Amino acid sequence: MSEETTAASEAGPASVLLIDDHPLLRKGVKQLIDLEDDLEVIAEASNAETGVAKAVETDPDLILLDLNMPEINGIETLKMLREADVGSRIVVFTVSDNEEDVVAALRAGADGYLLKDMEPEELLASLNQAALGKMVISEKLTALLAQALQAGRTTKSADISSLTPRERQIIKLIAAGLPNKLIARKLSITEGTVKVHVKHLLKKLNLRSRVEVAVWAVNEGLS
Please list the rounded mean pLDDT of every run of 10 residues in the chain (223 residues).
47 90 95 93 96 95 93 92 88 87 81 90 92 78 62 54 87 81 90 88 79 72 65
Residue 4 lies in a domain: no
Nearest to 99 by CA among 65, 63, 72, 137: 137
Looking at the fold, whether 140 and 169 belong to one and the same domain comes out as no
Q: Do residues 128 and 200 share a domain?
A: no
Q: How many domains does the chain have?
A: 2
Domain boundary among the residues 150, 181, 196 is at 150
Q: Are residues 38 and 88 in the same domain?
A: yes
Residue 126 lies in a domain: yes
Give me the domain span that covers residue 110: 14-150
Instruction: Supply the pLDDT for residue 129.
Output: 87
CA distances from 36 to 14, 29, 121, 178 (A): 10, 11, 10, 21
Q: Pick the last residue of a domain from 102, 127, 150.
A: 150
Residues 74 and 177 in one domain: no
- Dist. CA 35–CA 157, nearest whole Å: 43
In this structure, what DSSP letter does residue 141 have? Answer: G
What's the confidence (pLDDT) of residue 191? Answer: 87
Same domain, 48 and 108: yes
* 210 and 141, same domain (yes or no): no
Quickly count: other Cβ atoms within 10 Å of residue 198's Cβ. 19
Same domain, 81 and 116: yes
Q: What angle, 0 to 180 degrees and rounded to 10, lies between the N-to-C axes of helices 210-219 and 165-175?
A: 100
Query: Model-level pTM?
Result: 0.68
46 and 132 in a single domain? The answer is yes
* Residue 48 shares a structural domain with residue 133: yes
The residue ranges of DSSP E strands in the chain, in sequence order, are 14-19, 39-45, 62-66, 89-94, 112-115, 136-137
Task: Verify that 144 and 67 share a domain, yes or no.
Answer: yes
Residues 59 and 133 in one domain: yes
Q: Decide if 33 contacts 76 (C-beta within 8 A).
A: no
CATH number of the domain that 95 lies in? 3.40.50.2300
Q: Can you give 51-108 as a three-state secondary structure string?
A: HHHHHHHHCCCEEEEECCCCCCCHHHHHHHHHHCCCCCEEEEEECCCCHHHHHHHHHC
Dump pLDDT digits (tens) for 110-161: 888 899 999 999 999 999 988 887 778 877 776 666 565 555 554 445 567 7
1 found inside a domain = no
